[in-house]
Structure formats: structure tokens, C-alpha cells
Amino acid sequence: MAVNGDWSDCGFLVLNAGSSSLKVALFAATGDEALLSGKVEKIGPDGVIQLKDAQGQALPVAEGVAEGDLGTHTGALMVVIRTIQRHFPALRLAAVGHRIVHGGPQFNAPLVITPDVMRTLEALAPFAPLHQPHNLAGVRAAMAAFPGVPQVACFDTAFHRDQPFVNDTFGLPSRYYEQGVRRYGFHGLSYEYITGQMRQLAPQLAAGRVVVAHLGNGASMCAVHDGRAVASSMGFSPLDGLAMGTRCGQIDPGVLLYMLDQEKLSSAEIARVLYHESGLLGLSELSNDMRTLEAAGTPQAQRAIDYFVMRAQRELGALAAQLGGLDALVFSGGIGENSVLIRARICERLGWMGIELDPARNAEHATWISAEQARTAVLVVRTHEELVIARSVRAVVGMA
């Protein structure tokens, strides 16, 4: 920790622990550039680690890393820590920031993880069984590695917690709402970053009615008015709304009853279909990766793309209705930032919403891609969730 508020030799780590991956970024006490960033993928017997420095140059991992060290989250974190110690021997770690997918109804801002907070986060695991346990494994690994160092939780749900009741609830008996069965949203760290960027890029638009489309392997859209979330395409779980790489998106709950009653699938089997076998992969029977589908040119790949585009247009229309109109549409996430085709396809036939792309600017991945005369602005903004966590950590531990 800093002595007398002098943070000059301090740094802090940002961790994003998924089921089989650990993304990391190391920040100094000030500055937006990560000193080190990277990820461990396929945590297990075939674990792979890639770390780079602030200039994007590959950083060799610490010497003596043995096969099997990347077999668990804790092992992977230890390899990262030893690598940091090798390359930044004078740096003192003052805090660790964690991406936590679920903050439940109660947490609407980042906070230091106390034993009480940890218990609450563990109790929320049934709300996000495929994500929360891995996030918390990352917290435990960091607590074991850095006893006494503050661990800060930053929630993907927090950005959405102030949405009006009608966009927070389902049409179920009200006891479910009381139990916490609500529309939590997700991708909130990305939305927070993008609304912050919008305030800098276009303050007038940022004060207006904006839909942000975070289109990655996971995908959602959020309606934002004057920087505050109004409605999201994602609901109780990260399954709802848009079609995704392997997730189904919006579905009639009657289909789940059919799977249960007629196909006699167990809940685990249904979860596998909905989370891992659907979306772009399920429709194309080829890949969850949009680049692969764009290149494939097969009828089934085309159908998967058509469905992805249709769902995006429907959600956009619904969210614009919640805002009472639209001043700007912002594309983000791996697909939103990189796919000229998908941006063009989503925007085509939306002239009635004032949306009209400038094809040349779209092809150049310019920040502003709408046509000069268009009533509604369309932008591309590269998201940076780690930086949002970094800024929150600084604020929570008093570095900022």
C-alpha cells in the first residue's frame, strides 16, 4: 500500500477470470496505458499464455514455468505474478480489480470485497452459474497470492441497476421480482466505457438518446439516455436478446417446456444447447466466429448471418421505442468494431429511423460512419473494459 498517499511506485492488476481463461492487465498508479496485458487461455493441461508490454511486444513469461502450471486459475495467476515480478521488480501491488459478472439487485457500484461481500457474491452464483464461480475463483486466487491487498469488484450488472421497473421486471408473479429474478443487463463495463467516450466525442449526442450495440462473441444492446441505462436486450441471464456466437438470444419459453417435457432433456442438457450449441454456431453448423461465416459463403452460414442481423434490427427498434427516438447508434465489440458487412447489413432498411451509412467511412472503420445528411449519427467506438475497471480501482482505493 502507499505510504502517506505516495503511489508513485505502486501498480495494480485487473483480472477477468472466465471459465477457461484469465485476462490480465497491469496498470501504474496513473495513466491509461497498461504496462502489461494479455491472457491465459485453455486453462488446463493445454494452457496457453500470451503477455505483451505497453508497446505490444510479446513479454517472455518468468523462467522455470513448468508444464501444468497453467492447469488452474491459481496456477495461471502465479505465472502472471512471477512474470510481473521479473519485468517490473520495483513495482508494489496496491490493489487488484476484478470483473464480476453479477452484482445482484444490491450492488450498483464498484467496491472493496470484504468477507461479507464475498458471501453475497457467492450466494449470487445460481443467477450466473456459468460465469460467477469462475470470477470468484479469480478473486480467491488473488486473495491467496496477495494477502491484505484490497480486492475491488466491478460489476457487469451495475450500469443497468437504475433502469425503470418496467425494463427491470418480467411479467411473472411479483414474488419472482422480490427473489431477484430481474433483467440485469450485463456488458455494463463496456457500456460505461462507451458512454464515457461518447461524452468526450460528442457531448450533445451523449446527452441524448443512444443505443450501444456491443457485438462480440457475447452480444447485447443497451438503450442509454443522457448516459444512463434505460433498457437492455439482455435479461436475467446472458442468454436473452441478440443471437450470439453460441447462445440463442431471445427465445419463446415454450421451447424450453418442449425440451423438458417432450425431449426429456435435463436442465444441464438444455443449458448446453442454449449456451454452447446455439446462435451463429447452431444455425450455421459451421462456426461461432463471424469472420469464418463471412468467408464461408454457404447458404447455412448466410442464414446464420441473416438471423443475427434480423435480431439486431428488432432489438434496435424495440430499444429506440423505449427511448422515444434515436439520436445515435454506436457499434462496439469484436463484430461491431471490425465487421464492415454486419454494420452495413444492420443499418440497411433503417432509413425510417434516420440511419444512413457512408459506405466509404464504414469500410475505413472510421469513428463516424453515418452519411453527412443522416438524421441519426452512427459511430464505431472501440471498447476497453479493463480501463473502466482500472479507473474504478483507482477511485475505490483512493489513488485517483
- DSSP assignment of 282-309 equals HHHSS-S-HHHHHHH--HHHHHHHHHHH
Q: How far is CA 227 from the centre of its chain?
A: 18
Cβ burial of 70 (10 Å; 0-12, 13-18, 19+) is buried
> Does 156 participate in catalysis according to the annotation?
yes
Catalytic residue among 69, 156, 168, 240: 156
The residue assigned the cell 452519411 is 371
Q: Site for ligand ADP (CB under 6 A): which residue of 333, 376, 380, 388?
A: 333
Neighbour order of strands in the sheet with 36-41 = 48-53, 36-41, 22-28, 10-17, 92-100, 151-155, 111-112
Looking at the Cβ atoms of 117 and 219, the one nearer to ligand ADP is 219
Q: Is 302 in the site for ligand ADP (CB under 6 A)?
A: no
- Residue range at the interface with ligand ADP (CB under 6 A); choices 83-91, 119-127, 144-152, 214-222: 214-222
Q: Is 334 in the site for ligand ADP (CB under 6 A)?
A: yes
Q: Site for ligand ADP (CB under 6 A): which residue of 217, 313, 322, 367?
A: 217
Bridge pairing between strands 151-155 and 92-100: parallel
Looking at the Cβ atoms of 110 and 218, the one nearer to ligand ADP is 218
Minimum distance, C-beta of residue 23 to ligand ADP, in the bound complex (Å): 9
Minimum distance, C-beta of residue 320 to ligand ADP, in the bound complex (Å): 23
Q: Is 335 in the site for ligand ADP (CB under 6 A)?
A: yes
Annotated binding residue 42: no
Q: Site for ligand ADP (CB under 6 A): which residue of 290, 320, 390, 399?
A: 290
Q: Is 279 in the site for ligand ADP (CB under 6 A)?
A: no
Q: Is 216 in the site for ligand ADP (CB under 6 A)?
A: yes
The residue assigned the cell 449470487 is 124
Looking at the Cβ atoms of 269 and 294, the one nearer to ligand ADP is 294
Annotated binding residue 337: yes
Residues 6+ apart with CB under 8 A from 236: 127, 170, 181, 182, 183, 184
Amino acid residing at 247: R
Looking at the Cβ atoms of 47 and 334, the one nearer to ligand ADP is 334
Active-site positions? 156
What residue ranges bind ligand ADP (CB under 6 A)?
216-218, 245, 289-291, 294, 333-335, 338-339
Residues in the annotated binding site for substrate:
99
